[in-house]
Structure 1
Amino acid sequence: MSTTLFDAPGPKAAARIRIATIISSAAIVAFFAYAIYLFGSNGQLAAHKWDTFTQWPIIRYLLKGLGNTLLAAAGSALIALPLGVLLALMRLSKTRWIRWVGTGIIEFFRSIPLLLLIYIFFIALPKYQINPDLYWKLVIPIGLCSGATIAEVFRAGILALPKGQTEAAEAIGLTRLQTMRYVIFPQAIRLVMPSLLAQVAILIKDTTLGYAVSYSELQYSAKVIVSNTGDLIQTYLVVTVVFVLVNLAITRTADVWSRQQQRRYLSGYRPTSSFNRVGQTPEA
């Protein structure tokens, strides 16, 4: 199966990837096994250490933090997706100054550290009477940085399409805008959708920087619980498991989408021939 951003590995490369995967997986399992051994030998796995997370107020507080995390990720996605499409089209524009502006914006937000941008919204901008709500102080910086990355994903998807698609659209009289809207963009969306869903997982992880502006997302909620209970290892292990499950769900969605699109493509492919059988005359 072809990919958008890289070529499929050959037999030797695939074998090396499998060997590296086995070795790295074994190393990871050994690391976690040793970590569990250390936790157990120091009494961190004792049942009473986990009683905190059987209490409904604590569970409710963590669920509220998870809800705020997903809300921040959703708001960031609503900014990043249209911004990414706009910047990708600007960078692909035939007008030089539009292409330069789009490229400059993309490279700027891809280069600047996200935490620094959050601090700019949280500390610097309020001095100039630009003081949005706490939610937007987190969501806007994440959306801007992620939008620059998504722009490159969209651009890669558009450039991955055969040039014949554009030439065929122009041959039937479609304008450049119509070609992009009706021919190129729908196909590019299908190609880059798994990458876009993977970017959503990155958005969720980026929301953990909300602690810098005291936004009560999941990691900040864990910090508050630790300050009140002292159960640092247990709390952050629980939060880690929650993040892993959420990201696994997103990754699973991306995999299902990719397989469905591949099956749809293969089922829609029907080799055509003007002959029923070899040696017969063409069909009427």
Structure 2
Amino acid sequence: MKSSSTTVLFDELGPKGKARLKVATIVAVVVVLGALAGIYFQLDHVGQLSSRLWSPLWEWPNIRYLLDGLGMTLRIGLSCAAMSLVFGTVFGLGRLSPRRWLAVPAAAAIELFRAIPLILLVYFFLIGLPTFGWSLPPFWVLSIPIVLHAGSVFAEIVRAGVNSLDRGQFDAAAAIGLRRGQALRLVILPQVFRALRPALVTQVIRTLKESSLGYVVSYPELLRNGQVLGEYNANFVQAYAVTAAIYIVINFGLSRIAELLDRPPRVRRRSRIAEPAPATPAATVGTLS
């Protein structure tokens, strides 16, 4: 007997609804293919598909230049992801603290850095700090705003993860003599981080995208190197297209990792223990006789 699956958000489509959905899908595919064909013919008309503009991008010095930028993007992206994890955990737990002198400043900092656009934070560290006599290397001028912005978002994720756990987790930890800090460190946070593995990968993708603001501070990340390469070879469209393709491949791979982590673990099939076959009536009669 097959189990019927029920939908929660909407009723199952009837024959007319399925027909309309199929027609809408065909129309959408035709429109997208038509748009792509129009872009292709327009680029070909203005000469942007000429091999003269694309061939420099396949030369090894230019490829190595883009790979250097990719390495810097991964460096700042992974570094900012790790630092935003620490920042978000500390401030998220601080906002959950029963002590108001700790919870109120943590909540204010989280809301402040979430509300300010990231580009304004970057310009503050780039232009504002030097007016006070503080000058930072480009890496920190870019990474600190990213950590403050992404970490404040992650703080809310941590807070929501802790609040989603059953209150009995805290009561059970208190019953065995653990203080609140010990309960958070030994019982609560391991469960929260296990459930937030897809969110961690999403944060890495977020910081990789936000690192593209490196062109503002002249940090040699992937987009900045693609911009320089386009200026040098006078092929901006081609350089940006290759750069975008690299971003798409990396982010798609990380998104697939997040999807795999979000899936429930597969139930491993236990090897069946060989059991002796039950004796047939004929065999039983033969034995008794």
Fold-level similarity (TM above 0.5): yes
Summarize deviations over 1:191-210 as a string: whole Å, max 9, x none: 11101211111101101111
Which blocks of at least 5 consecutive residues in structure 1 are unaligned? Answer: 1-8, 269-284
Summarize deviations over 1:105-146 as a string: whole Å, max 9, x none: 000100111111111111111222211211111111111111
Q: Which 10-residue stretch deviates more, 26-35 or 239-248? A: 26-35
- % identical equivalent positions: 36
CA RMSD of aligned residues (A): 2.6
- Counterpart check, 1:90 vs 2:74: no
> Aligned-pair distance for 1:213?
0.9
1:154 and 1:30 map into 2 onto residues whose CA distance is 44
> Aligned-pair distance for 1:11?
4.6
Summarize deviations over 1:47-87 as a string: whole Å, max 9, x none: 33210111111101111111111111122123211110000
TM score, norm. by length of structure 2: 0.81
Instruction: Show the counterpart of 1:103.
Output: 107
The alpha-carbon distance between structure 1 residues 14 and 153, as it changes in their structure 2 partners (threshold 3 A), is farther
Which of 177, 181, 184 is matched with 1:180 structurally? 184
Instruction: Show the counterpart of 1:59.
Output: 63
> Aligned-pair distance for 1:38?
2.3
The alpha-carbon distance between structure 1 residues 25 and 128, as it changes in their structure 2 partners (threshold 3 A), is farther
- Counterpart check, 1:37 vs 2:35: no
Instruction: Show the counterpart of 2:148.
Output: 144
- Counterpart check, 1:210 vs 2:214: yes
CA contact (8 A) 1:77 1:203 kept: yes
The alpha-carbon distance between structure 1 residues 173 and 144, as it changes in their structure 2 partners (threshold 3 A), is same
Q: Letter of the aligned partner of 1:263 in structure 2?
A: P
CA contact (8 A) 2:230 2:238 kept: no
SS for the counterpart of 1:221 is helix
Instruction: Show the counterpart of 1:263.
Output: 265
1:157 and 1:32 map into 2 onto residues whose CA distance is 42
The alpha-carbon distance between structure 1 residues 25 and 14, as it changes in their structure 2 partners (threshold 3 A), is farther
CA contact (8 A) 1:79 1:140 kept: no
1:164 and 1:99 map into 2 onto residues whose CA distance is 23
SS for the counterpart of 2:223 is helix
Instruction: Show the counterpart of 2:273.
Output: none
2:204 and 2:258 map into 1 onto residues whose CA distance is 10
2:107 and 2:183 map into 1 onto residues whose CA distance is 22
Instruction: Show the counterpart of 2:193.
Output: 189
1:23 and 1:112 map into 2 onto residues whose CA distance is 42
Q: Letter of the aligned partner of 1:10 in structure 2?
A: V
Instruction: Show the counterpart of 2:120.
Output: 116
Instruction: Show the counterpart of 2:54.
Output: 50
SS for the counterpart of 1:89 is helix
Instruction: Show the counterpart of 1:10.
Output: 8
Instruction: Show the counterpart of 2:134.
Output: 130
Matches within 5 A, 1:239-258: 239-258=243-262
> Aligned-pair distance for 1:93?
0.6
2:118 and 2:27 map into 1 onto residues whose CA distance is 29
1:186 and 1:233 map into 2 onto residues whose CA distance is 46
Matches within 5 A, 1:14-29: 26=29
Q: Letter of the aligned partner of 2:119 in structure 1?
A: L
Max radius of gyration: which structure? Answer: 2
> Aligned-pair distance for 1:28?
5.1
Which blocks of at least 5 consecutive residues in structure 2 are unaligned? Answer: 1-6, 270-289
Aligned length: 255
Q: Which 10-residue stretch deviates more, 54-63 or 69-78? A: 69-78
2:254 and 2:125 map into 1 onto residues whose CA distance is 29
The alpha-carbon distance between structure 1 residues 89 and 30, as it changes in their structure 2 partners (threshold 3 A), is farther
2:32 and 2:195 map into 1 onto residues whose CA distance is 32
CA contact (8 A) 2:81 2:203 kept: no
